[in-house]
Amino acid sequence: MDEEKIRGLSGGVNQRGVRNYNERLLLTMLQRSGAMAGIDLARKAGLSPQTVSVILRKLEKDGIVERGAPIRGKVGKPSIPMTLAKDGVFSIGMKVGRRRSDLLLLDFQGNVRAQISTNYSYPMPETVFGFLQDGLASLLADLPERIASRICGIGIATPFELWRWHELLNAPARKFASWKDVDFAREVAKFSDLPICVVNDASAACHAEHLYGRGKEFRDYGYFFIGSFIGGGVVLNDTVFEGNQGNAGAFGSMRSSGPMGESRQLIDVASLHLLEGRLVEAGLEPHVLWAQPQDWSALSRYVDPWIGETAQELAKAALSVCSVIDFEAILIDGAFPAAVRTELVTRVRRYLINQDTRGLIPPRIEAGSIGGNAGAIGAASTPVYSQFFLNVNAGLSAV
């Protein structure tokens, strides 16, 4: 697909503008609870059946919701549940990582329709935006117009203060500092007219878990995501809370201590870059950590100790965040195989038993469910969320 065609994909559902409050309310209920009949939506939303019926007809006409199979009861007419239309809205998401970037197309139900990735030594601006431009063209090349016209925007998940990464990457500081002056929207506007949303990478992963994973099981929880580095997210009242400057849940900056009592941050003691360093010291090629599909079975000699040390740090960190907010659960996920995640969660639970919990109610420790794609999926969900769903903490009730 050439540049002009990419620029042409600026309309679609986004031209209708944001949905009004009641539309967002019903769409959010369908997203959180699944298919529901109009009468049930009306009861739970506190709206009249007539009002809900009018809204659903409008949303159905717009192709945003669709009817499910009729459910027959003992008496009366069959109930017809409504659900989000899987082809109703699409979005693009990109995760900027230390060694890898992922770009994907997400549908309204949270399904990944297409995905491409690239690996690099360092995520320099020209590399990242070049991948986005070429990748966008590749994703959209054979896309039917009925889908292309319903792309509502591009979400980009990037680490907070990316220009500081050179301190951990051993990358040239001068080159990496160029990120500080990068305007993401301006750079993307050079090759696409789609609306742009930029979000912290860990917050994006938290959004993915909250919308499409186990986040639906809990009202308030803390979220840890372990990638090259470690980050997190905060969920309050069923909503991802991003904070005053979009950096809430910056758990990687939590204080920790080294073996000699020296001051450290959680990022220094519980991240995959530590495991990567151990592989390099052993003379092994660390690219296996980022290869897809993931298979770390041959690395157990190095992975097992890393899991044990990381679990100890996460157990302490879980209690620290719960001393500020009384979370009912802590969810843990990361860019590693599911078996590694399961073992990590198991050990965090074990270590939590031996922690000093005076004055605290220990949270449930649970495994996340999205995995390595969480950042890109969460990024893609951002423009959808901002246009179609309710965000209590962002004050969308005023829309």
| 43 & 177 share domain | yes
Together in a domain, 90 and 167: yes
Please report, for residues 30, 247, 284, 381, the alpha-carbon distance to residue 241 in angstroms, rounded to integers and kept in the order given. Answer: 21, 9, 40, 15
pLDDT at 8: 37
Residue among 108, 146, 196 nearest 389 (CA): 108
Are 324 and 207 members of one domain? no
d(CA 178, CA 219): 40
Count Cβ atoms below 10 Å from residue 319 Cβ, excluding itself. Answer: 17
Q: 234: part of which helix (H) or strand (E)? A: strand 230-236
DSSP strands (E only) in 45-150? 65-67, 81-84, 90-96, 100-107, 112-119
Q: Is residue 233 part of a domain?
A: yes
CB-count burial class (<10 Å; 0-12, 13-18, 19+) for 147: middle
Q: What kind and span of H or E run contains 314?
A: helix 300-322
Joined together, the tokens standing for residue 317 give: 């960190």
Residue 399 lies in a domain: no
Report if residue 270 sits inside a domain: yes
For residue 224, tell me if it sits in a domain: yes
* Element housing 277 (H / E): helix 272-281
Q: Could you tell me the pTM of the whole model? A: 0.89
Tell me which amino acid residue 171 is. Answer: A
Q: Which residues of the chain have pLDDT under 70?
A: 1-19, 73-76, 162-176, 391-399
Q: How many CB atoms lie within 10 A of CB 32?
A: 14
Give bridge partners of residue 296 from the DSSP assignment: none
Residue 349 burial (C-beta neighbours within 10 Å; 0-12, 13-18, 19+): middle
Task: Identify whether 398 is part of a domain.
Answer: no
In a domain, 181, yes or no: yes
Q: Which two tokens stand for residue 102?
A: 């992922």
Q: Tell me how far CA of residue 39 lies from CA of 74, 127, 342, in angstroms.
A: 17, 51, 40
In whole angstroms, what is the distance from residue 113 CA to residue 143 CA?
11
Please name which of 131, 327, 352, 363 lies closest in space to residue 235, comparing C-alpha atoms: 327
Residues 41 and 142 in one domain: yes
Domain match, 336 and 202 both: no
Count Cα neighbours of 301 within 13 Å in the Cβ-side half-sphere: 5
Measured in whole angstroms, how far is the alpha carbon of residue 71 from the centre of its chain? 34
- Considering its fold, how many domains does the chain have in total? 2
Q: So what's the pLDDT on residue 162?
A: 67
On whether residue 48 sits in a domain, the answer given is yes
Closest CA to 271 of 336, 345, 354: 336
> Do 107 and 256 share a structural domain?
no
Do 101 and 187 lie in one domain? The reply is yes
Report the C-alpha gap between 196 and 208 in whole angstroms.
18
Q: Are residues 4 and 126 in the same domain?
A: yes
Amino acid symbol at 210: H
* Residue span of the structural domain in which 136 resides: 1-213+377-386
Residue 392 resides in a domain: no
- Kindly state whether residues 172 and 241 are assigned to the same domain: no
Q: Please tell me the distance from the alpha carbon of residue 68 to that of residue 74, in angstroms, as a whole number.
A: 19
Q: Looking at the structure, do residues 150 and 281 belong to the same domain, yes or no?
A: no
Is the C-alpha dihedral spanning 383, 127, 268, 336 positive or negative?
Answer: positive
Q: How far apart are CA 272 and CA 290, in angstroms?
A: 10
- What CATH number has the domain bearing residue 344? 3.30.420.40
Q: In this predicted structure, what is the pLDDT of residue 165?
A: 56
User: DSSP readout, 174-201?
Assistant: HHHGGGGG--HHHHHHTT--S-EEEEEH
* Residues 204, 249 share a domain: no
218 shares a domain with 200: no
Give the C-alpha separation, 238 to 173, whole Å: 40
